[in-house]
Chain A
Amino acid sequence: MTRALPESRAGRVVLEARGITKRFGSVVANDRIDLTVRAGELHAILGENGAGKTTLMRILFGELQPDEGEIYLDGQRVRFRSPRDALRHGIGMVHQERKLIPAHTALENIVLGHPRTKAILDLREAEREIEALCARYGFRIPLHAKVWQLSEGEKQIVEIVKELYHGARILILDEPTSVLSPPEIVKLLESLTKMAKEDFAVIPFITHKLPVVLEYCDRVTILRRGRVVAEMETRHATEQTLAAAMVGRDVVLQVERVEVPVGEPVVRVSDLWVRDDRGLFAVQGLSFEVRAGEILGLAGVAGNGQEPLAEALAGLRPVERGSILLDGVDITHAPVLERWRRGLGYVPTERREVGSIPSFSLVDNVLLNYHFEPEFSRWGVLATGRARELTERIIAEYSVVAAGPEALAKSLSGGNLQKVILGRVLSRHPRFLIACLPTHGLDVGAAEFVQRKLLDAKRAGTAVLLISEDLDEILALSDRIAAIYEGQFTGVVPASEATKELIGELMAGLRRERV
């Protein structure tokens, strides 16, 4: 099937960006970026969070207009006014957050808006074409399944196929590996390589997973603080040189794990079954315990039951079967407030939707975890003075950058908001803390701060359940690591025995330890 690229085309420059500059207020997100992409290559863009990858990507895809600089396609200067415009020029983009309609089938998603789709849907022809496309690059997706039924990996492939079907010749992929298990990554990259060999230019933007870059990509451009710091062929690079270029210093920051004597089990969960919003069992018979002074890290690819588990523990989702004991008391069906009173603390994933109220002041946000306490509600009247004092204390102790306790939550950055939420929850000295993706999307400084606070809580004897998609974070903080796959534990490993490879395989469900 593979058809070699015609000599004339191979290696020709297809996309060139010159001097791209983009400012947001005083922040220069992209500073005179040059990028040259050739046909037939897999050209990775590397950079940490905040290096300017997203901005560059959005500019290339027509979602943002650069303040300065030009883009050339096949030597022709182009200006994209919209993503639609970019696609017309053959640039397709696969976002990190899925751009698919869950209620529609994969096929419907792919043909939606395609100029050749006829007024009366006759999908047989489209289906044949799409199946040929899939076969050619080794993709396998159930075209007639609804998208919500697909795994994250399959959804990503649907998007790739959609871009190809709509005529993309240059494919930009935002963190294509982040939602995949290690074996899925290998499969995807093999397909992408195949595509690149034929006549595509494929540009994955990647933060982590350096070995993958080295193994599959032909060329890499590295961004740091909005600038290009290096461009090289991967065969001249090593993991160390890439990492050094990305980070700009030799040592990657590490939080020090502290060993404290582990106490009694605080939480005992046995044979827990929980349904998701669609009524399917997302948590299937989990049993575990978390001890005082211990962090249990829950590692898993997004969507394997972590959220429903956390919600069931916090009392936000009914438990179908099984039991949850907190300090020996059965709280399986207890209302939320009783759990809080008994010492549960919960830092939810969605900071702005669940963990806080953007239009409320910080004081009112702190009250979310205190309005039911007698000291804060006397004769049914809020003790606002007390709440304000507490808020001021949290602001000081967590070095929150905010105009004051009356500042609205929506005026805070993600990192500062997370500090307020964590500070509010930890100020209750919980016996059991559930922390869901506590550092997701935070800048390095705030992330480190949050991680230190989690360790402080552990030192103070809190039992911590840390749910994270960042394997490095899990490995750095946890005392024991449980890997979850399709609602079941595939293994629970002490930190001393855990390696990235082992946990990776457990997360992918390729291997099962005795639990």
Chain B
Amino acid sequence: MSNLLIISLAAAAVFAIAALGELLEQRAGILNVGLEGVMLLSGTFGFIAAKTSGSYLEGFLVALLTGALVGLLHGFFSITLGSNQVVNGMAIWILGFGLTTYIGYPYTGPLGLQPFPTIAGFPVFFLVALVLAASLWFLLYKTHLGLKLRSVGENPSVAEASGVSVTAMRYLAVVLAGALVGLGGAVYSLVYNPVWSYNYLQGWGFIALALVFFSLWNPFLIVAGAVFFGFLWQLSLYPELLFPNVFSRYIWRAMPFLITIVVFVILSTRWFRLRWGATKPEALGVPYQRES
């Protein structure tokens, strides 16, 4: 049981780190529904780098860089070209899915490094997620930069009139966010489940995306939600720990996805939606064009 909890936290770290990245860019008004694609690309490239070099550090660096670059690409479409952000996100996801399927295939199999160290069995990256959540909160609510970032997500023209460069802020947000999401992808492919296979991420990027929508854009609620989903996931892998001999193991694997939907429906009550409406960045997903 305590093992179940600990490994749940390892899974939670992946959800949380990726979702925190998405939260950062959403706060600046950029919506990236292609989280799955960013995580696939950075997770796969990080995996390949670590496998060929034998170094975790190299793997993580490549993943961070990949994430930042993909974030930049999404930013270029969404900020500079100003095209529909949902379409852009879809494109990022399909790009990630398609490219990694081909590029990663020759590396199918386990990473083959020593398992990533833990702190007396406790997953390091869950602590990293906690620190990141706190840092993100501090950045957003206690610094001028954070105020500017939030402002461009709420009302870019007001921010611009107050002397904030919307373009610069949004690019900053997508690059940082991309790197964070990339880190999340690498935590999955290098630490949580270091085995590459076809479409190995199994929709975790979409779960992380959903987590942001329902966190009321609050970093700490993201971590809490991530723990819940991490637990749910582990339970679906080892159902016999709690519910022996109920359903086949395949039905259990379907559970987290179905429960995700159920949770979101429950969270969509009127009470919740009123708060949701109050905290959603107002300019989320809306391209901004400077008046000339």
Contacts and interface: CB of A to CB of B under 8 A. Distances in A.
Contact of B274 (A112, A113, A119, A278): A278
Interface string B115-158: 00000000000000000000000000011111110110011011
B260 to A, nearest CB: 27
A63 B277 CA distance: 32
Interface residues of B, number: 25
Nearest to B280: A103
B142 A121 contact: yes
Given A108-B147, A121-B142, A121-B144, A113 B277 contact: no
A258 B147 CA distance: 56
Contacts of B164: 112-113
A144 interface: no
B151 A104 contact: yes
Interface stretch (A94-102, A190-198, A234-242): A94-102
Q: Majority SS of interface residues in chain B?
A: helix
A149 to B, nearest CB: 11
Given A113-B159, A278-B274, A278-B278, A102 B154 contact: yes
A279 interface: yes
Nearest to B164: A113
A115 B151 CA distance: 16
B161 interface: yes
A63 B151 contact: no
A117 interface: yes
B100 to A, nearest CB: 37
B162 interface: yes
A467 B85 CA distance: 38
B145 A112 contact: no
B282 interface: yes
A119 B144 contact: yes
A120 interface: yes
A84 B161 contact: yes
Interface in A240-268: none
A101 B161 CA distance: 12
Interface in B145-181: 145-148, 150-151, 154-155, 157-159, 161-164
A101 B147 CA distance: 11
Nearest to B282: A103
Contacts of B147: 104, 108, 111-112, 117, 121
Nearest to B142: A121
A87 B163 CA distance: 10
B154 A104 contact: yes
A118 B144 contact: yes
Interface in B221-266: none
A253 to B, nearest CB: 35
A120 B144 CA distance: 6
Contact of B144 (A87, A100, A117): A117
Interface in B258-292: 274, 277-279, 281-282, 291
Contacts of A102: 154, 282
Nearest to A103: B154
A101 B155 contact: yes
Interface string A474-514: 00000000000000000000000000000000000000000
Interface of A: 63, 83-84, 87, 99-104, 108, 111-115, 117-121, 162, 166, 277-279
Given A84-B163, A115-B163, A166-B162, 9 more contacts: A84-B161, A87-B163, A99-B157, A102-B154, A112-B162, A113-B151, A113-B164, A121-B142, A278-B277
Interface of B: 142-148, 150-151, 154-155, 157-159, 161-164, 274, 277-279, 281-282, 291
14 contacts: A83-B161, A84-B161, A99-B158, A100-B158, A101-B151, A101-B159, A102-B282, A104-B154, A108-B147, A111-B147, A112-B147, A112-B151, A115-B163, A277-B274
Nearest 8 CB-CB pairs, A to B? A113-B162, A113-B163, A279-B274, A101-B154, A112-B162, A117-B144, A99-B158, A113-B164
